[in-house]
Amino acid sequence: MAVAGLSVAAEMGLRAPEDVSLPASDDSQLCRLTHPTLSAMSHDVHGFGAEVARTLFGVITGEEPGRIRYRPRS
């Protein structure tokens, strides 16, 4: 969405980061390919997926899922 926002800002005559700040919510390659590059939050996508899979297998085997607290990498 930040990449699309960068495009809309340019259409409106605004420049990033001079006129508008557009932080991205993920650190995809696309954010690194824009000009200027976008600042982005980093997520451990593989770690998150592994936690989801562990929880799913637990539910399938009858375990209570409980609360899951995702801890992003530091």
Q: What percent of the chain has pLDDT over 70?
A: 91
Mean confidence (pLDDT) of the chain: 83
CB-based contact 47:73 (threshold 8 Å): yes
Kindly state the helix (H) or strand (E) to which residue 57 belongs, with its residue range.
helix 45-60
| Model-wide pTM > 0.75 | no
Would you list the domain boundaries of the chain?
2-33
pLDDT of the residue at 51? 84
Q: What is the pLDDT of residues 38-72, one digit of tens each?
A: 888 777 778 888 888 988 999 999 988 777 666 65
Could you give the C-alpha distances from 68 to 26, 38, 52, 64, 74, in angstroms and in order? 21, 30, 9, 11, 18
> What CA–CA distance (Å, rounded) separates 33 from 35?
7
